[in-house]
Structure 1
Amino acid sequence: MVFELTESKRSEAPHAARRTAWQLDLTGVNAYLVDDGTVTLVDTGTPWGISRLVREIERTGHAVTDIDQVLLTHYDIDHVGGLRGLDRDIPVYLGTPDRGFLTGQERPPLSTPKGVLHRVVGPFLRDRDHVIEPVEDGDAIGSFKAYHTPGHTPGHMAYLSESLSIGFLGDLVIERKGELVPSPWYLSYDTDQVADSIRDLADRQPPIETVGVGHGVPFLKNGCVRLAELGRAIA
């Protein structure tokens, strides 16, 4: 099911851009679509959920061919797996440390359970069709700014847009019973880094209302306040 995250309002100006975002429910994991004149897909779901991804995009009134860019929050099978269902000419952006895992240029470390899992599934996720653009902390991609938030994975990125008042946090945090909680140890490379990244992002984030997470329900209001509260709670 598709959920609209922002009101579809148009300015009285005749050529005002439509600014709307949707949560794409891909069964157990979320992707997001944003249309602010540039159509951005945030994460892509699983390899076996591509047909659902396509249907969800179409329910927003868009086609897969409308997508201008893909922002990947991190390298995990349920976030990068749907790439193979997208046109190979679409630019794809991924944090530099995770980019090598996806392209096959780097091998995940075997020092953590998460790294072992990535090493096992790596051959099934390797992408040589798309041009994967490396993303560094502070990079601007359209209206979004990238924030390096390692811990869940080495190259985990959050993408926040002050002009749209919306941010996508990937799996840095999850929603549980109406609250934001840190990515748990069994899903992360380094939980100390997760905590550090939450505090750092809480300190640097712009004032945004809507926050989307990879797992759980998005927060439509006071997203930055909730993240700041979590940052203080784990200080």
Structure 2
Amino acid sequence: MTTSSASAVLETVEQETGPEPQWSVLWLHGLGADGHDFAPLVPELVRPGWPALRFVFPHAPVRAVTINNGVRMRAWYDIVGMDFPTRADSAGIEESIVQVEALIAREQARGIAADRLLLAGFSQGGAITLAAGLRRQVPLAGLIALSTYLPGAAQAKAHLAQAATAQPVFMAHGTGDPVIPLVHADQSARVLGELGFDVQWHRYPMAHQVCAEEIRDLGDWMARRFAL
């Protein structure tokens, strides 16, 4: 595992599963965590026979989070209240999308085409994954959104790029999630489907977390992407 930084991109934690990676997985952590959070998941997820992968786990910027009494922590955007349609700081979301695009551009400079890059995220990171995916003019290989929802789902069509719906989506959520209630994730999956995305939607009997069955299903979905 290595940590890297560059002036134009966020600092990242990286793991490569083999020499000369053919694919990249850009994975965004949740509120208050950092790029190390999901790195231990790599050996649980990766399967024999997969192409060499580069996992890139960026650290979100540190910012004050209103809902947490203004405490500064790593966050992809500010959360200004409890009302889901308006809770996400739109300026912060736009800033994070730009930062994600810079990371995607760096992977392209390292030889990974957009159609060999998966964008993944958990909770806040998943919200950015979906928001960024909507705007993609050049489709990625797929979007992975875990325990999350689409910010501004009611206005999603206004942000939709024509090519974006070519990106398949894996969404998964806990039925007992107390942080992001299932109803908001379910609505987001439905909106994405109505917009034309191929959404594989999973529910698991868990809280705001990941589980072994979810990782197995995600691995199945990723295996299909690599086989195309």
The reply to whether TM is greater than 0.5 is no
- Larger RCO: 1 or 2 (CA < 8 Å, sep 6+): 2
TM interval, shorter chain, is 0.3 to 0.5
